[in-house]
Amino acid sequence: MSDVHSEELLREVASLPALPGVYRYFDAQDQLLYVGKAINLKKRVSSYFQKNHGGTRIGHMVGKIVRMETTVVRSEAEALLLENNLIKTLQPRYNILFRDDKSYPYLKMTGVLPGPKASGDAVSPGQAPAPVAAQFTRVSYYRGAVEKKHRYFGPYPSAWAVKEAILLMQKVFRLRTCEDPVFSNRTRPCLLYQIKRCSAPCVGHISAQDYAQDAANAERFLRGDAQDVMRTLEARMMAHAERLEFEQAAELRNQVAALSNVLHQQSMDNVADRDVDILAVKVQGGKACVNLAMVRGGRHLGDRPYFPVHVEDAVDLRDEDDADAALAPVEVQVLEAFLSQHYIDVAMPPSLVVSHPVGKGLLKALSEQVGFKFNAVHQPREQRRAWLEMAQTNADLQLARLLAEEGSQQARTRALAEALDLALEDLDALRVECFDISHTAGEATQASCVVFQHHKMQNAEYRRFNIDGITPGDDYAAMRQVLTRRYSKLAEALHEAKRAGSTLKGTARLPDLVLVDGGKGQVAMAREVFEGLGLDLSLIVGVEKGEGRKVGLEELVFADGREKVYLGADSAALMLVAQIRDEAHRFAITGMRAQRAKVRVGGSTLEEIPGVGPKRRARLLQRFGGVRGVALASVDDIATIEGISRELAEEIYRALH
């Protein structure tokens, strides 16, 4: 391969040190091709240029290399961390890449301040000071950065799993879920108390000491000590019964029964493993799925699929720690890429169960990175085997679903291109932009623009436009404004590029199709805008509702003079058009509602209310815990704040409602 590379590049390769590090390859357009790590930079990088890789993917990549960059680090663990941070950030063409679509959710238990000394008896609201929210642990769904003053359990694979755990905390331990401002302003128990999902600490129906004991038991249960919690509850129940405290004994009996029912349903609770991640890989048709199942506190919490990109272009040569430099199966590459990238910013459990063997060098580097030695078990037995088989089945099903969906999406894209005679060589590049207008009787008018490309909706490219300077309710004027704002600069760039003999690429180019939600009137307005900008009228297509505005009866209206077209209720092309149109409508409505609420509530800010200055605002926020707490407060509660009269309290209440 050396004859296709410059002497300068080969000299740079020859001068590399025999130290751990990270290397990056670039092509002639200075696009990043590949990021790799090495225990020995000189040995690893030289292997790319000294061997004949033939017509493999790695050979194709090496032939494009014109420049490289290297970074020397102190250890393989540092190289691993840097490599995968660069992969996540730069998204190179030939690396297997797992994109972070969202963070993991947790179950959060707020910190508890020392409560007043109390007996096991409930405290009557008239006999003691009002309960303080900070004394009573709250359980809630949480996603984000953790704080040391609270406890977090998880991560959970889905929001559904967290909500199921919270429901469990309510059923068995009757812990509160209300926010602090709501807690502080209660005067009587809420519905959750009536249905035995909360012990009503907000109105003193349980002492701080007893509530803290329930919270401690809930925490022990979440950590996997369910049997110990059961024994503790049974002992307390018997102690109350011996003291003839039958009411308290009955409460504990109900708690024991609820916990026993949970343990009966959770058949995996008694296994030795407390915290385990199970990873199963399936590769088929150029696509891959890694199914991650989670066991926390001995309970199986569910699973979550991941679909990496660039699998078909991945370099298929193992690291140099493979003595015979054998080609690694794609499944192993995908699994190792997931381990390297996933556990950079996600806590790793002490045990992993994997469907394919993982390289020892990677395991050693990961252990150094996380600060403890963990087990990665391949070919497990007993309960672990059952977990892995379940995860493997789910990986197979998820990948089959992905392949089926992608196949159907591509078929719909092709049907649309054929129905509208769109001359495209690459269907994957077909770009559709769709516009919709939304308002309520002319109030808070907004226009939406959604984008369809690569056979799916591109959420990151959605745009909203606030419409002003028009007669309220004039949808035609709103459409004229949004199309002018969206395409005027693009038209200028297009005309300039034509004069220069070049073309626009990427998101800077015109879409292949512009859909507007409306019939002849909206299409005529779009035609007027495009004529003024000197753009191709054949791009514009209106989606006109059919008779009775029934779904499936829509007709397509063209700006270039073609006759209207009815594609048929069963048309794949019409299904795609309807999907894009409905998404534009949804996006416009949500934006309009948010804008309308902002206008009606004065931007949800207290400082915009006449008579509320910085000092009064600070007192309100301190008393009620935030704007939402102020909105939940009554006029009488607001009027108790120093410096706020009854009249001003009524004004604040009206402004926030």
540, with CB counted inside 10 A (0-12, 13-18, 19+), is buried
Q: How far apart are CA 220 and CA 228, in angstroms?
A: 8
Instruction: In the chain, count H helices and then E strands.
Output: 20, 18
Residue 580 has a pLDDT of 92
Sign, CA dihedral 149-154-160-163, equals negative
Neighbouring CB atoms inside 10 A of 182's CB total: 17
pLDDT in tens, 193-204: 888 889 899 988
Q: How far apart are CA 271 and CA 224, in angstroms?
A: 10
Choice between 226 and 406, residue whose per-residue pLDDT is larger: 406
Choice between 369 and 541, residue whose per-residue pLDDT is larger: 541
31: left (phi over 0), alpha (psi -120 to 50) or beta: beta
Q: pLDDT tier at 515 (50, 70, 90 boundaries)?
A: very high
pTM for this structure?
0.57
Percent of the chain scoring above 70 in pLDDT: 82
Q: pLDDT tier at 267 (50, 70, 90 boundaries)?
A: very low
Residue 24 has a pLDDT of 92
pLDDT in tens, 22-81: 999 998 888 888 898 888 898 888 888 877 766 566 777 888 888 899 999 887 777 877
Per the CB < 8 A criterion, the answer to whether 169 and 247 are in contact is: no
Q: Which helix (H) or strand (E) holds 25?
A: strand 21-26
Choice between 488 and 360, residue whose per-residue pLDDT is larger: 488
Q: Which helix (H) or strand (E) holds 555?
A: strand 555-558
Q: pLDDT tier at 481 (50, 70, 90 boundaries)?
A: very high
Neighbouring CB atoms inside 10 A of 613's CB total: 12
Tell me the CATH class for 276-399. alpha beta
Residue 321 has a pLDDT of 40
Range 406-410 contact pairs with CB under 8 angstroms and sequence separation of 24 or more: 406/287, 406/455, 409/455, 409/456, 410/455
Neighbouring CB atoms inside 10 A of 69's CB total: 12
Residue 483 has a pLDDT of 93
Residue 434 has a pLDDT of 94
pLDDT in tens, 138-147: 998 888 777 7
Rounded to an integer, the average pLDDT of 335-344 is 84
Choice between 211 and 604, residue whose per-residue pLDDT is larger: 211
Choice between 487 and 371, residue whose per-residue pLDDT is larger: 487
Residue 121 has a pLDDT of 45
The percent of the chain in helix, strand and coil, each rounded to the nearest 5, is: 45, 15, 35
Secondary structure, 3-state, 150-183: CEEECCCCCHHHHHHHHHHHHHHHCCECCCHHHH
272: left (phi over 0), alpha (psi -120 to 50) or beta: alpha
- DSSP 8-state secondary structure symbol assigned to residue 505: -
Assigned CATH topology for domain 2-90: GIY-YIG endonuclease (3.40.1440)
Q: How far apart are CA 438 and CA 595, in angstroms?
A: 11
Q: Name the residue ranges covered by the structural domains of the chain.
A: 2-90, 276-399, 427-599, 601-656
Per the CB < 8 A criterion, the answer to whether 465 and 482 are in contact is: yes
Q: pLDDT tier at 601 (50, 70, 90 boundaries)?
A: very low
Residue 323 has a pLDDT of 37
Residues 6+ apart with CB under 8 A from 113: 132, 134, 135
Nearest CA to 522 among 436, 463, 450? Answer: 436
Q: pLDDT tier at 484 (50, 70, 90 boundaries)?
A: very high
Question: How many residues are listed for the chain in this entry?
Answer: 657
Rounded to an integer, the average pLDDT of 396-412 is 83
- Report the chain's mean pLDDT, rounded to a whole number: 79
Rounded to an integer, the average pLDDT of 613-620 is 80
Rounded to an integer, the average pLDDT of 295-324 is 66
Nearest CA to 95 among 83, 79, 78, 82? Answer: 83
Of these ranges, 170-174, 456-460, 471-475, the one predicted with the greatest mean pLDDT is 456-460
State the Cα angle at 572 between 567 and 578, rounded to 5°: 75
Q: How far apart are CA 558 and CA 434, in angstroms?
A: 14
Of these ranges, 18-32, 331-345, 487-501, 555-569, the one predicted with the greatest mean pLDDT is 18-32
Residue 642 has a pLDDT of 84
Q: How far apart are CA 657 and CA 649, in angstroms?
A: 12
> Is the pLDDT at 606 greater than 60, yes or no?
yes
601-656 shares the fold of 2-90 = no
> Is the pLDDT at 317 greater than 50, yes or no?
no
Rounded to an integer, the average pLDDT of 540-553 is 76
> Is the pLDDT at 117 greater than 60, yes or no?
no
- Tokens 């696009």 sit at which residue? 31
With b for 16 or more beta-carbon neighbours within 10 A and e for fewer, the 295-307 pattern comes to bbbbbbbbbbbbe
Residues 6+ apart with CB under 8 A from 126: none
Q: pLDDT tier at 596 (50, 70, 90 boundaries)?
A: low
Per the CB < 8 A criterion, the answer to whether 630 and 624 are in contact is: yes
Residue 270 has a pLDDT of 43
Assigned CATH topology for domain 601-656: DNA polymerase; domain 1 (1.10.150)
- CATH superfamily, domain 427-599, is UvrC, RNAse H endonuclease domain (3.30.420.340)
270, with CB counted inside 10 A (0-12, 13-18, 19+), is exposed
Q: pLDDT tier at 594 (50, 70, 90 boundaries)?
A: low
